[in-house]
Every structure is written in structure tokens, then in C-alpha cells.
Amino acid sequence: MYEVIQIRLREAGKISYCSTSGMKFKVGDYVIVEADRGIDYGQVISDPEVILDSDVEEPLRKIIRKANPWDTHQIDKNKKKSREVMETCTRKIQEHKLSMKLIDAEFSFDRSKIIFYFTAEGRIDFRNLVKDLAAIFKTRIELKQIGVRDEAKLLGGFGPCGRHLCCATFLKDFEPVTIKMAKEQNLPLNPAKISGLCGRLMCCLGYEYKTYKELIKGLPREGETVKTEKGPGKVVGVNALKQSCTVELADGARVEVSYRHSSSDRHCERAEGERSNL
């Protein structure tokens, strides 16, 4: 068994499990970890948990130590230095006339590598650009093409809810989000209302999707004709959370009926308390 915690490498790197090596950490702590080549830094984003050997999907990196004042100073220096390399890389992109947009740059902790993040509409041949940058900075260069969702994750910001973007805080991976999720939750299909800063459907549409799917089971669909004590009517609205639907009767009147499920039968009653059977 291993005691592990989740670490976000650097400011924009991947989130992965790392072995605590018996040390104690808190969420938010900066730590120094083993890297593919050399050492790197990351931030703790989860509490410790114990996993079985069989649950380990890839070799676990080890945490070397909690970042000390010197480490923190080095991390700050790297962040400031990254602004300088961004300017140089942007100039070189223009010289090579490459159709790419530079988003961010970051150093590994020991400065053995610089990672440049960019967006582009198609594939980019940046081999000559890498050679130029390697000659200038005398270190290993890595260019990563990312999508618009990754761009939002890197740059951060606030969502319509007023909170920091989920992708920039706790989301580990991007899960598929579809328009069907918005429909099932009876949300307005207005792109401005259900899209995030990245221009894609908001990740949070998937958080409660399974719950909504379960709640709407047994409820009539909009447009369906049902019978009530007041006569037949057409379902014009469904509220999964309240377990109710709005029915428009033949005379134009609308009534709200609420469903109550039991193990033996299913019936509904008027929201106001007057019984009506469907």
C-alpha cells in the first residue's frame, strides 16, 4: 500500500498522484518532487489517501521535501524569468512566420527545461523554432499545443457563478460535455448562458447530469398528453428537482402537479393540495 496525495506540477502541469514517503502535507503546500529528468515543483491539491499496489496505474513519483524558503525564492525567480522567455519566443515566432498563439511559458524547478504552451488551428512545424530557442537559452525546450479549454485552464478567471474556474482549480481531466446535458437539466439552450470562458460548454453541466437523469425517470415529457381530474392536458413544463410538471388544460388553465414515488405505485397531486390522478 502507498500513502499518496495529488500534486499539480508547476502552475499548469498535469495533476498526478505522488508518494508522500511518510511525510505530512496540507492542501496548498508547495513541494519538490521527482521529475522525468531532475526535479520539479508542484502544489498539493488533495488530502492524503491510501491506495493498493494494484491501483497504481503508473510509476509513482516521490515527494522529496516540502518547499523551503530557498525553494520558494527559486520558484518566484523562475516565474519572473518566464516572462522574459515569453518575449523572446514571441519574437522568434514572428520571425519564422508561424501561425501560432503563444499562451504561456514555465521553467522546471531546476531550469533544466522550458515548456512553451501555444494554440493553433492546425499542426505547426516548429522544429526550427525549437532549435533557435535551445541555442538562445542553452536548455531543453518543449513546445505543447493546447486547446481552448486548456488555454482557459492556464490563464484562469471567473465563471458566471462568480467563482474561480473549475478547470483552473480542482478539475483533473476534461470530461466530455454535450448539449444533451443542458436539455436534460431544462436549461436555456443559449450559447451565452451555457458556455464558459473558453467558448465551450461549461464543465459544470456534467456535475449533476446523472442525478437529473435519475430524477426524470417516470416523469412525463414536455408535449405529452396526460389525464387529470380536471380533464386531459398537455405537459408544458417539467421540474426534475421538485418532481413536478406543469399541465395546460383544454381551457388554457395551467396547473402544477407533483409526483410522489413509492415502491408499490406512483401517483401525483396538485401542488396546491387538490388531488388529481395521472
- CATH code of the domain in which 140 resides: 3.30.300
Indicate the residue type of 255: V
Distances (CA, A) of 12 to 15, 79, 116, 159, 209: 9, 12, 11, 19, 28
In a domain, 105, yes or no: yes
In a domain, 171, yes or no: yes
Contact 32, 64 (CB under 8 A): yes
Q: Mean pLDDT over residues 172-179, rounded?
A: 85
* pLDDT for the residue numbered 54: 66
In a domain, 218, yes or no: no
Q: Which of 87-91, 97-101, 121-125 has the lowest mean pLDDT?
A: 121-125
| SS3 state at 266 | strand
In a domain, 276, yes or no: no
Query: 137 with 166, same domain?
Result: no
The number of angstroms, rounded, from the C-alpha of 165 to the middle of its chain's C-alpha atoms is 8
Query: 139 with 79, same domain?
Result: yes
Query: 134 with 157, same domain?
Result: no
In a domain, 277, yes or no: no
* pLDDT for the residue numbered 264: 36
DSSP assignments along 107-158, one per residue = E-TTSSEEEEEEE-SS----HHHHHHHHHHH-SEEEEEE--HHHHHHHH--B
In a domain, 278, yes or no: no
* pLDDT for the residue numbered 79: 87
* pLDDT for the residue numbered 132: 94
Extended strands (E) in the chain: 2-9, 15-19, 30-34, 39-44, 49-51, 61-66, 101-107, 113-119, 140-145, 225-228, 231-239, 244-249, 254-261, 266-270
- Maximum mean pLDDT: which of 123-127, 170-174, 217-221, 256-260: 123-127
pLDDT surpassing 60 at residue 257: yes
Query: 134 with 97, same domain?
Result: yes
Q: Which of 129, 146, 163 is the last residue of a domain?
A: 146
In a domain, 125, yes or no: yes
* pLDDT for the residue numbered 2: 77
pLDDT surpassing 50 at residue 267: no
Query: 82 with 118, same domain?
Result: yes
Domain that holds residue 92: 72-146
Percentage of the chain beyond pLDDT 90 is 25
Q: How many domains are contained in the chain?
A: 4
Query: 142 with 160, same domain?
Result: no
pLDDT surpassing 70 at residue 61: yes
Q: Which of 101, 118, 146 is the last residue of a domain?
A: 146
Tell which wins on pLDDT, 197 or 51: 197
Q: Which of 53-62, 187-196, 202-211 has the lowest mean pLDDT?
A: 53-62
Q: Which of 111, 128, 146 is the last residue of a domain?
A: 146
Query: 93 with 136, same domain?
Result: yes
Query: 189 with 255, same domain?
Result: no
Confidence of residue 143 (pLDDT cuts 50, 70, 90): very high
User: For the whole prediction, is pTM greater than 0.85?
Assistant: no
Query: 142 with 78, same domain?
Result: yes
For the segment 227-247, what is each residue's pLDDT rounded down to a tens digit?
777 778 888 888 888 888 888
Q: Mean pLDDT over residues 178-198, rounded?
A: 88
Query: 79 with 142, same domain?
Result: yes
In a domain, 220, yes or no: no
Query: 132 with 92, same domain?
Result: yes
* pLDDT for the residue numbered 17: 83
pLDDT surpassing 60 at residue 278: no
Q: Which of 36-45, 53-62, 248-257 has the lowest mean pLDDT?
A: 53-62
Query: 154 with 182, same domain?
Result: yes
